[in-house]
């Protein structure tokens, strides 16, 4: 399968992750290895790179594409939620930078043959890791109508969720829906068309995204990862997350804030009595967005939002915090 993914916001990722400064860097979503290569090119010769992806093809591709760096690289076929296990196996207690570039890669969309794209006639599978059992076809054919509508509404933010769910249920009563094109056509017929086709995203975009998120438990994985990542970051280590969905971005924002300001004293309390200490300092108060130039060159970057935070010292002293803040403004 060809791999020609153009990595999103590489310049910004490198700016914040600063791979030259640390020794151990993790890319939890290797995909087409675009970010991985950029990080490896900047990593000092004694630096170590750890790459994870739960798509077997992405790992096989990385083994070839990153061959010149094989002596200082470790690749894992697995879920990024398993990062602490990977580190234990390598005897690495903590790392200096972690990148997640969430979602689906271009090669998965175009060449995986798993029904990620509404433009192709493929089996409705959508599993990024074929070791998991639930397929998109199971959800489409077996979820009750209101659960399907909820799924399209919540994960896809689809305005016509109920209408689409109704059409799906009517169609599947005749025969099982098995292909991506069949589903895409069904969705297109169910939603009212107002704007000319050229000015709209494909009517099935949101439904396909919702199914992919549900099949791969993408929000659940992100939540587990955020709970674990900070414990495996060295002081001053950076956590950089690129998301493409508002629910993901909101989860990153809320979790970062919770770790940057963990105080649980009631609002208006004159003095903190809970004595919880911050573990993170947020470097991006607002999410960083791709430049217009990048979006023109690579429309897949359109909805990207990047948030970055830095791990404070283990006792999170005020001095640590101050120096990190100064660096953030430099
Ligand atoms: C947008 S692509 C990454 C592209 C990559 N940064 C590049 O430069 O080519 C997302 C990748 O993350 C992987 N992925 C998504 N969720 C994952 C998870 N929970 N654990 C491991 N890999 C995951 C997908 O299989 C896909 O290859």
Q: Is the CB of 31 under 6 A from ligand 1?
A: yes
Testing ligand 1's pocket by substitution, the residue of 9, 10, 31 carrying the most ligand atoms inside 8 A of its CB is 31
Residue nearest to atom 12 of ligand 1 (CA): 29
Testing ligand 1's pocket by substitution, the residue of 5, 19, 26, 30 carrying the most ligand atoms inside 8 A of its CB is 30
Domain boundaries, the chain: 10-104+219-329, 133-215
Fold agreement between 10-104+219-329 and 133-215 = no
pLDDT value at residue 329: 46
Residue 33 Cα to ligand 1 midpoint, Å, equals: 9
Query: What whole-number distance in Å separates Cα of residue 54 and Cα of residue 70?
Result: 19
Residue nearest to atom 5 of ligand 1 (CA): 31
pLDDT digits (tens, 9 = 90+) for 152-170: 999 999 999 999 999 999 9
Residue nearest to atom 14 of ligand 1 (CA): 29
pLDDT value at residue 99: 98
Q: Is the CB of 128 under 6 A from ligand 1?
A: yes
Query: What whole-number distance in Å separates Cα of residue 183 and Cα of residue 119?
Result: 11
pLDDT value at residue 32: 93
| Spatial contact of 167 and 186, defined as CB atoms under 8 Å apart | yes
Going by C-beta distance under 8 Å and a sequence separation of 6 or more, which residues neighbour residue 272?
A: 263, 265
Q: Is the CB of 32 under 6 A from ligand 1?
A: yes
Residue 315 Cα to ligand 1 midpoint, Å, equals: 33
CATH of 10-104+219-329, picked from 3.30.70.360, 3.40.50.150, 3.40.50.720, 3.40.50.300, is 3.40.50.150
Residue nearest to atom 9 of ligand 1 (CA): 32
Query: What whole-number distance in Å separates Cα of residue 4 and Cα of residue 13?
Result: 19
Give per-10-residue mean pLDDT for the chain (330 aa).
74 94 92 96 94 94 95 96 97 97 88 86 92 93 97 94 96 95 92 63 90 96 96 96 95 96 85 88 96 92 96 64 50
- Could you confirm whether domain 133-215 is CATH 1.10.150.170? yes
What is the position in ligand 1's atom list of the atom closest to the CA of 8?
A: 8
Residues in a beta bridge with 50:
26, 74
- The kind and range of the H/E element at 137 are helix 136-142
pLDDT value at residue 269: 85
Q: Is the CB of 82 under 6 A from ligand 1?
A: no
What is the position in ligand 1's atom list of the atom closest to the CA of 222?
A: 19
């Amino acid at each position: 399968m060809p791999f020609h993914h153009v990595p999103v916001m590489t310049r910004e990722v490198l700016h914040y992750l600063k791979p030259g400064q640390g020794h151990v860097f993790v890319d939890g979503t290797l995909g087409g290895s675009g970010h991985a290569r950029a990080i490896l090119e900047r990593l000092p010769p004694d630096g170590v790179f750890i790459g994870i992806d739960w798509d077997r093809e992405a790992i096989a591709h990385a083994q070839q594409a990153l061959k010149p760096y094989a002596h200082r690289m470790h690749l894992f076929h697995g879920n990024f939620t398993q990062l602490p296990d990977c580190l234990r196996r390598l005897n690495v207690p903590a790392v200096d930078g972690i990148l997640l570039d969430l979602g689906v890669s271009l090669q998965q969309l175009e060449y995986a043959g798993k029904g990620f794209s509404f433009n192709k006639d493929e089996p409705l599978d959508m599993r990024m890791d074929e070791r998991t059992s639930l397929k998109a076809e199971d959800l489409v054919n077996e979820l009750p109508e209101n659960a399907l509508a909820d799924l399209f509404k919540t994960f896809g933010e689809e305005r016509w969720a109920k209408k689409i769910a109704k059409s799906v249920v009517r169609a599947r009563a005749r025969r099982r829906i098995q292909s991506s094109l069949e589903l895409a056509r069904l969705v297109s017929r169910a939603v009212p068309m107002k704007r000319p086709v050229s000015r709209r995203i494909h009517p099935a975009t949101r439904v396909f995204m919702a199914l992919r998120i549900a099949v791969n438990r993408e929000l659940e994985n992100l939540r587990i990862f955020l709970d674990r990542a900070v414990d495996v970051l060295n002081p001053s280590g950076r956590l950089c997350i690129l998301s493409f969905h508002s629910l993901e971005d909101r989860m990153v924002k809320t979790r970062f804030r919770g770790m940057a300001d963990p105080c649980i004293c009631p609002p208006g309390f004159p003095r903190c009595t809970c004595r919880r200490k911050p573990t993170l300092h947020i470097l991006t108060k607002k999410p960083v967005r791709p430049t217009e130039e990048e979006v023109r060159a690579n429309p897949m970057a359109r909805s990207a939002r990047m948030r970055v935070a830095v791990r404070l010292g283990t006792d999170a002293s005020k001095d640590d915090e101050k120096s990190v803040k100064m660096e953030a403004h430099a």
